[in-house]
Structure 1
Amino acid sequence: MPTTSLTATAPSRTAGLGWWALWPGLAAMALLGSSVAVIDATRTLPVFALQSARYAVAVAAIVVFARIFRVRLVLPRLRDLGWVLGGAATGLVGFNLATIVGTAHAEPAFLGAAVGCIPLVLALAAPLAAGRRPSPRLVVGAVVVSVGAIAVTGWGRADPLGVLMGLALVAGEAGLTLFGARALPRMGAWSYSAATCAVAAIAFGVLSAFTEHPEPALLASPTALGAIAYLGAIATALAFVLWFTGVGRMGAAAAGLCAGTAAPAAALIAAALGAPLPSPGAWLGMAAIALGLVIGFAPRLSTPRRRTRHR
């Protein structure tokens, strides 16, 4: 099968899918945001061991879900390995390492604001990588979504290394999606998600063995096991499959707009679990995200009306 990026053909396919095409991307971001539900249970765990276990559980969960839904998984071929390794290195290993380093050199709000720029980055980078001009409407929608996401997270301070890690977060998140868009035509969302998670599980396992020497008992408590199971099966496995399903339907540039909803999802879920309600500025940011989605998608996904002939 050709390895042409899905972003090159997505506009023609998306026109007939309507707003239904959005739900996988939006659901993926909601599941990613739901990780705040178990964050407290992971604070004392060795970081690399936690990530290795999380991605290992994600691989197992994808295999189980694929059997349940009768989805055929395929192994990456030689020509797919670059996209798989690139996606895992940037979006999983690189993203998490940048987060770990960044938290020591930047306030969480700064890192969250950096991630909020993902919609704009994908709206520009995805078509350029496919040799096309960015869609002006998608770019405008992405700008509005990104501004709204930053309003939700706020803007914190960072030292120079923190700024660099913020840029690394943006590059890592965009890399995962862009590499995935190249692998999806043959591998599909399920197989690509499983393959990248397997690479990340091995990479973090090696890092943990050489740097942390974790005690197995730390990861074996009921609380830790429950958190790892949720992070792996729900916030990673299901979220990744849904995300790349959305990328396959819409293309990376359009799907990127959905990434802006991760911040509102996390804020609302945290509030439901007892955290303070979002500030008025955050609510305005959520409204801006909704407006950006309408700007970016409404004309693109609407089905043209047929003209009625009058006799």
Structure 2
Amino acid sequence: MKAGFAVGAGVLLASVLVLGWAQNRPSSTALDLVSMLAQSVMVGAVWIGYAVYVKRATRPGLVVWLRRFRPDQGDRIRFHRALGTACFGFASAVTLQDPSFNTSLVSAGYRVWFLAPVLCVLWVVGLFALALLMYAAGTMNEGLFVFGILFWTALFVWGATELLRRRGVLSRQLSPEQTAVHLDAVRRGERRVGEGVEVIKVMESAGSERWKGAVAQALDRADLAVVDVSDVTPQIEWELREVFRRLWPKRILLVAQDDKARADVLSAQLRAMGVRDATVPWVQESLLPYPAAQAAWPKTNAQYADLVRRLRRAVAERVGQ
């Protein structure tokens, strides 16, 4: 955190000094470009500082999050938000893509941090172009100009968000060997995810079960498996068997919605699947309940802070520092 803050503050200070120097010089095209670049870098200082923070705070380790796929999240709590934050500093979290959670803007933000100044320059250039067009057309109306600024800013934000969405999902159209190399890099901390969950998209063909191979590869390298057992579907049953076959029980964390987090019921389900280690005491110790619905504002932040705190403690106990 200190390194990221120091770099961000340093970049901001340097940009301010360059901007002040340029403004005290006779106007020229070159100085105008320098001023524009300084302003853009100044705006991107936070992003740059965050990239340094992620790089310094990333630790080797891999957490695999498994859960039922849903068509949409609705009013459900965004569990991935809490999980990514809780794992940060202990390990990198990954999951498979599904319709309700198909991208990670947080991890995408780290991947394209170097584009922050460029994006800011494009925004400023767009404003200059808007002013020049209105001046050339002879329609320099203040109200129209403000509307143009708002329209361009909204369009720019939409474009930047789309860029992050495209970079927030990792499309794995690779061979099993190449996928294994990638997961190994994540586990060693060479591929940084940030305070988010990396989304791996498994390209399926009709009747394909390639996702099982992706799950198996991830579990073989996992330091911790987080399995949501709120709804135990046939797919979740298969994943649970693989989790217990490939990982020690102390490397498994079960999570479930509050109203479905009954240790005796889950223990009976797991033992009926052939998981002998899933005794009631073990399930009680390894089960972390979470709220089913997202709290209304302003209680949302407190709800997520509590969930992050409990998750972080559970992850620390199983992955270690």
TM-score, normalized by the shorter chain, greater than 0.5: no
- Give the structure, 1 or 2, with the largest relative contact order (CA under 8 Å, sep 6 or more): 1
TM-score by length of 2: 0.24
Higher strand share: 2
Q: Report which of the two has the higher share of helix.
A: 1
